[in-house]
Amino acid sequence: MKESSKHITKDIACAKTILNEIRDKDIVHKDELLSKETSVFINDATLSRAIRELARLNVLERRKNGYKVHWDNIGEAHGQLDRYYTRYLADSKIKERLSKNTVFVREEINELLPELTIQQIDKQISELLKAGFIEKYGSLDSRGKYVIASKKEDIYIPNVISKLADMYDDVIICYNTALEYYNLSRYATSRVIYADGEVKSPMNEIFDKKIQKVKLKDSKIGIDFIRDKNFRITDKERTIIDCIRFSKYALGWENVFHAIRRLKNFDENKIIEYLRNFKSSTLTSKIGAIFENYNKYLDLSPRFYSQLQLTKSKTPFRIEREYPGKLNKNWNIYIPENFFDYD
């Protein structure tokens, strides 16, 4: 029975009534399928759909003189119709309740339909995904979260950023949110928006996303203005530098390395310029070691690396303070043995 039918529950109820009212006959006519008392409440269209469903369930078979009844299949048909009824009622309740939100978690369905088992809820979610009513809300911290498909524009990252820029004039979008905007993040949608500027409090919410206030080292270097959306954002080169500086705001090294492998139209001269302005020898060494490891994706020139060598750290240090690792003598940096194993 098609889920798109708005009469679905009436059709199921009619089919079940037919199963209850037909007598011990091998052949029944259409006007014998329902009692006279019941038939006055059911129109021809509903009856026809119910008959087609019972035919699909191999209970009724069309013959010249009426419908042949396959009694052996009636028990299974009752069970199947009960499952349909439960599923469609659940579907209706879920859509009505969840449509009030943009993003929801699986536990909300558990609470909404406590009569369903875990397996039934899994199936319900699968069917809603298949029907396109919901989509997975894909991010590092969003397993088991879903977005209503018709409202997903509300969490489309440029729209969220534009709304934030309307609220606060001086914000600069950065870190993982910038990676998302440039389609470099491995996580489709994070629940946190990273922004530099005078946001009223460290954590606010907009479109079901939290606004994390961060402080950029220099808010005048490597900043682009997106005119059609009316917001400022760190450019790709600055974004990569910042994410290497503070990988936690990029959702971890795995995401940083993913972004580096996806970089296109990358300007190595900007990296050199920005690093000169930041005047951080340890950051320069980090950039040199990491970019060198991924140079097959970046295809940076020998000049780029020779320029970075001029301002690298003179004292060996750990890229991860907790782990000593092996010394990369070229960049004076200790790198854990499995540091690049995210490839």
Type of residue numbered 113: L
Min mean pLDDT across 66-80, 148-162, 237-251 is at 148-162
Pair type for strands 333-335 and 317-318: parallel
* 130-167 pLDDT per residue, tens: 777 777 765 444 456 777 766 665 556 767 787 787 77
* Of 203 and 168, more confident: 168
Rounded CA-CA distance 219/198 in Å is 12
What percentage of the chain exceeds 90 in pLDDT? 33
- The first and second tokens of residue 261, run together, are 């492998």
- The first and second tokens of residue 21, run together, are 């009212």
Rounded CA-CA distance 105/225 in Å is 35
pTM for this entry: 0.58
Type of residue numbered 46: T
Q: Is the pLDDT of residue 203 over 60?
A: no
**Average pLDDT of the segment spanning 315-332:** 93
* Of 21 and 97, more confident: 21
What local confidence, expressed as pLDDT, does residue 200 receive? 62
What local confidence, expressed as pLDDT, does residue 102 receive? 67
> Please, which pLDDT band fits residue 219 given cuts at 50, 70 and 90?
confident
Instruction: Label each residue of the chain as H, E or C.
Output: CCCCCCCHHHHHHHHHHHHHHCCCCCEECHHHCCCHHHHCCCCHHHHHHHHHHHHHCCCEEEECCEEEECHHHHHHHHHHHHHHHHHHHHHHHHHHHHCCCCEEEHHHHHHHCCCCCHHHHHHHHHHHHHHCCEEECCCCCCCCEEEEHHHHHHHCHHHHHHHHHHHCCCCEECHHHHHHHCCCCCCCCCCEEEEECCCCCCEEEECCEEEEEECCCCCCCCEEEECCCCEEEECHHHHHHHHHHCHHHHCCHHHHHHHHHHCCCCCHHHHHHHHHHHCCHHHHHHHHHHHHHCHHHHCCCHHHHHHHHCCCCCCCEECCCCCCCEEECCCCEEECCCCCCCC
**Which residues are CB-neighbours of 114 under 8 A, at least 6 positions away?**
none
- The first and second tokens of residue 63, run together, are 């013959």
What local confidence, expressed as pLDDT, does residue 241 receive? 97
> Please, which pLDDT band fits residue 183 given cuts at 50, 70 and 90?
confident
- CA-based R_g, the chain, Å: 31
What's the mean per-residue pLDDT of the chain?
A: 82
* 78-122 pLDDT per residue, tens: 888 877 766 666 666 667 766 666 667 777 777 776 767 788 778
Q: Is the pLDDT of residue 7 over 90?
A: no
